[in-house]
Amino acid sequence: MLENKNTSKTDISQLGEFGLIEHLTKRFDILQKTTIKGIGDDAAVLDPKAQIVVTTDMLVEGVHFDLSYMPLKHLGYKSVMVNLSDVYAMNAVPTQITVSIAVSNRFPVEALEELYDGIATAAKLYNVDVVGGDTTSSTSGLIISVTAIGQAKKDQLVYRDGAKENDLLVVTGDLGAAYLGLQILEREKQVFKVNPNSQPDLDAYTYLIERQLKPEARKDIGKLLEELEVKPTSMIDISDGLSSEIIHICKNSKVGCNLYEDKIPLDPQVISTCEEFKMDSTTIALSGGEDYELLFTVSTEDFPKIKANPHLTVIGHITQESEGIHLITRANTKIPLVARGWNSFQEE
């Protein structure tokens, strides 16, 4: 479906393990003052100036991505984004990453170069140093695991457990697009199987596909909140869908919540595509996942500071735990929110 323009193929065995590592990693420069030693020794050495946050996410071929429509460059980029998003969700700033890959010999060196092009682009744009990793062989698919390290002053960190009754529930950006992008790509894959010469017209879905293939972590939000002088009482990033993230905040904070259906921010392409495919846009936003937006709670006192901001939408408020976790629909009925987030163990 996506043509590989790179026609030259160098077998990994021609470089050997050390040659391959050297080849893939020689491009990485050190930009962060806190990086004392990057790639090239038994371990990296860091000199942190604040509290350290550490997070890891692993992406497995066939489970988290499908290389028939995910270009390797995008996969590299996305594997960094999903980790940086977790660092931003702590209200911290990412500073370093490590990248570990397991590859089968069906991948030529050029394919791994593409993967690392995406990783390098992400690292540069988000100002993080690639300070290490591991390279091993795999008998089947590609596995990529990224660890992100970040820093925050102790009083700046935001956890999932700080939401209080009456706090406002706020979300950044818009929801549901990444999931619909995946549905479009899956559909095109099936069409392509039947007719390899078909020329898909994807103009109506550009935003959706971009959100699936090239997500961006919200590095702007920490700065924005600092400028607005707002410190969230709790925060989480939206990787599995809005409903499961709301439930995580509520369970951890021992509170309840009312979420208002008519407040959920949706892009026009999400609305038109849901109409086209007769899908419910609320269900998509609640359960879709992979949006990598931030969900947080703020004290009602902070409402004037955030209300006019185009990046932020108030979608609900926190209640007592005993009131439960509910969606208030457009028809003004109250239904319990259930977590049907994306789950990699779920049977398809």
The residues that touch ligand ADP, with contacts defined as CB under 6 A, are: 21, 25, 39-42, 99-101, 130, 132-135
For ligand ADP, give the closer residue by CB, 97 or 177.
97
- Nearer residue to ligand ADP within complex by CB, 120 or 274: 120
Q: Which of 133-141, 163-171, 242-250, 295-303 is the region at the interface with Mg ion (rule: CB under 5 A)?
A: 133-141
Q: Which does 132 bind (CB under 5 to 8 A by kind): ligand ADP, Mg ion, none?
A: ligand ADP
39 binds, among ligand ADP, Mg ion, none (CB under 5 to 8 A by kind): ligand ADP
Residue 220 touching Mg ion (CB under 5 A): no
Stretch that binds Mg ion, among 99-107, 130-138, 256-264, 287-295 (CB under 5 A): 130-138
Give me the least distance between CB of 4 and ligand ADP, in Å please. 21
CB of 75 to ligand ADP, least distance (A): 14
- Of 142 and 312, the one with the shorter C-beta distance to ligand ADP is 142
Least distance CB 13 / ligand ADP (angstroms): 16
Residue 145 CB, shortest distance to Mg ion, in Å, is: 13
3-state per-residue secondary structure call for the chain: CCCCCCCCCCCHHHHHHHHHHHHHHCCCCCCCCCEEECECECCCEECCCCEEEEEEEEEEECCCECCCCCCHHHHHHHHHHHHHHHHHCCCCEEEEEEEEEEECCCCCHHHHHHHHHHHHHHHHHCCCEEEEEEEEECCCCCEEEEEEEEEECHHHCCCCCCCCCCCEEEEECCCCHHHHHHHHHHHHHHHHHHCCCCCCCCHHHHHHHHHHHCCCCCHHHHHHHHHHCCCCCEEEECCCCHHHHHHHHHHHHCEEEEEEHHHCCCCHHHHHHHHHCCCCHHHHHHHCCCCCCEEEEECHHHHHHHCCCCCEEEEEEEEEHHHCEEEECCCCCEEECCCCCCCCCCCC
99 or 169, CB closer to Mg ion? 99
Q: Which is nearer to ligand ADP, 37 or 317 (CB)?
A: 37
Q: Which window, 82-90, 108-116, 126-134, 231-239, contacts Mg ion (CB under 5 A)? A: 126-134
Taking the complex as a whole, the smallest distance from the CB of residue 68 to ligand ADP amounts, in Å, to: 24
Minimum distance, C-beta of residue 41 to ligand ADP, in the bound complex (Å): 6
CA–CA separation, 81 and 83 (whole Å): 5
Residue nearest to Mg ion (CB): 134
Q: Does 134 bind Mg ion (CB under 5 A)?
A: yes
Which residues of this chain interact with Mg ion, rule CB under 5 A? Answer: 134
